[in-house]
Structure 1
Amino acid sequence: MTVFEQDGFDLRVEWGLDGVRALGPRCAVLVVVDVLVFTTTVDVALGRGARVLPLPWHDERAAEAAKAAGAVLTPSGLDESIGHAGWSLRPSSLTELPPDVLLGISSPNGATLSAVAAETGATVLAGCLRNASAVGAAAAAIAGDRPIGVIAGGERWRPQQTLRPSVEDYLGAGAIAAAVTGRAAPSSEAELAAVSYRAVADRIPAVLADSVSGRELVAAGVPDDVKLAGDVDVSAVVPVLVNGAFAA
């Protein structure tokens, strides 16, 4: 045991893959947050009645297993926009998704973190700004008096691929932390994330659009993804990882 697991606190917030590995084995529930865009995409897809199979980034074996399971594989990453029927990692590509589809989606942040989180023993949820209150309430109900961990996915510096802490995921983690009830002892990390979210809660769409990640997507010609991601609490969907796939 080290200080990095945030032991002694019943609500914890951490970053990225190392955060998953630190908090997952010690938390009853682990919420993965990748606002731009994986967990927003999961929310949109599940809201349409589909399921999402998160695939580790650049793992051909996982992709082959997903194909064998009957999943429709989307292109890897935001740079490749067109997949089966135009479906992709972008949430704006899934607003007309038919129900009962199993989508296999790979991404370097949210999808990879979700796949690794599944191995920790925690119940894994996918949270974003759209479903923050629903996911926070569900996490509290599932965990009972056991700890909850919230993982801000973060982005990647290019080309080195090291973690870049991102505004959007910190706000998403903060929104979920703020929505979790019944916690007597949140960690300093969780408390500060919730306070940060509350400080800008009345202007989330603008803050999101002005963030580095938001401006990156707008410049790439997909402002609708940013708009969808900034629609706070429009969804009651609670994505739970069951048998390797997110289902509502």
Structure 2
Amino acid sequence: MDTWGQIEADIRLEWGPEGVEALGGSCAVLVVVDVLSFCTTTDLVLGNGGRVRPVRWRDHRGEEAAKERGAILAGESEWTLRPSSVTEIPSGTLLALPSPNGATLCDAAATTGAEVLAGCLRNATAVAARAAELADGRPIGVVPAGERWGVDVRTEVKAFGPLRPCVEDQLGAGAIVAALTGYGRLSAEARLAAIAAKAIDIAEALTECSSGRELAAAGHANDVKLAAKLDTSSTVPVLRNGILEDS
């Protein structure tokens, strides 16, 4: 048993930044899952031939550093964190994409020494296959990002509230774990997520969950539809030198 009690599990699951901390020292690969919306937007950008630089939320130095490397900052053009904004993003675009959950976790995961992948429902099977290849028999950690109570993307407030687990990331993580069938023993947390992903109508769940309803109420129902498209993409975002590239 390791420090965090994940007894002999080859595939492990823990939530949020605490999950990155818990799994980063023992897993060869960390898969960050933020379905609404960072990882879905990343999948679409890479699917169009672009790249994504994850930027920690409200990190203005990080934003400026990304622009110095030639990135276009999301929100300063027609491209934003919303998946529907990048469906026709030009090939070759390097998009600096801040988010309070997925991008922030990718940056944190990069400090652990593990290989870092960004997964969602759209690319679940492709990401699982690449994770297994990179891990090569060593443990894989899956980290559903969740949300944070009290975080409002429309304000400059930097305070992060407590973790808010969410249906969409549970299902995204579960779909990836389910696609790792045969890799090895699942932790109880990973097994539960996989069972949920296989037992439920995913599109219906995303429409009815709190995050999906909040986006629909704000006029962004199409973002939810794009995020719910299970295994429609073969894109595998792998973090290399601070940039997520298809690999």
Structure 2 length as normaliser, TM-score?
Answer: 0.93
Q: What is the distance in 2 between the residues matched to 1:227 and 1:185?
A: 32
- Map of 1:196-215 to 2, 5 A cutoff? 196-200=196-200, 203-215=201-213
Give me the whole-angstrom Cα distance separating, in 1, the residues matched to 2:105 and 2:7.
21
Structure 1 residue matching 2:4: 3-state secondary structure: helix
Matched residues in 2 for 1:5 and 1:118: separation? 23
SS at match of 2:8: coil
The C-alpha deviation readout for 1:176-201, integer Å capped at 9, x for no partner, is 0000143231111111111111111x
Is the Cα–Cα contact under 8 Å of residues 133 and 233 in structure 1 kept in the other structure?
A: yes
The answer as to 2:133 corresponding to 1:133 is no
Residues 69, 188 of structure 1: alpha-carbon distance in 2 compared, 3 angstrom cutoff: same
% identical aligned pairs: 57
1:155 shift after superposition: 1.0
1:90 is the counterpart of 2:88: no
Unpaired runs of at least 5, structure 2: 152-159
Q: 1:43 to 1:5 in 2, by over 3 A?
A: farther
1:19 aligns with 2:19: yes
Taking a change above 3 Å as real, the CA distance of residues 145 and 73 of structure 1, as seen in their structure-2 partners, is same
* 1:79 counterpart residue number: none
Q: Compute the RMSD of aligned alpha carbons.
A: 1.3
Which residues of structure 1 form unaligned runs of 5+? 76-82
Give the partner amino acid of 1:61: R
State yes or no: 1:232 paired with 2:230: yes
TM-score by length of 1: 0.93
2:106 maps to which residue?
114
Distance in 1 (alpha carbons) for counterparts of 2:109 and 2:140 = 13
**Cα deviations by residue, 1:61-81 (Å, 9 ceiling, x for unpaired):** 211111111110112xxxxxx
How much has 1:5 moved relative to structure 2? 5.7
- Structure 1 stretches of 4+ moved >6 Å: none
Give the aligned length.
Answer: 238
Deviations 1:16-37 (A, max 9, x none): 0010011012111100000000
> Equivalent residue for 1:53?
53
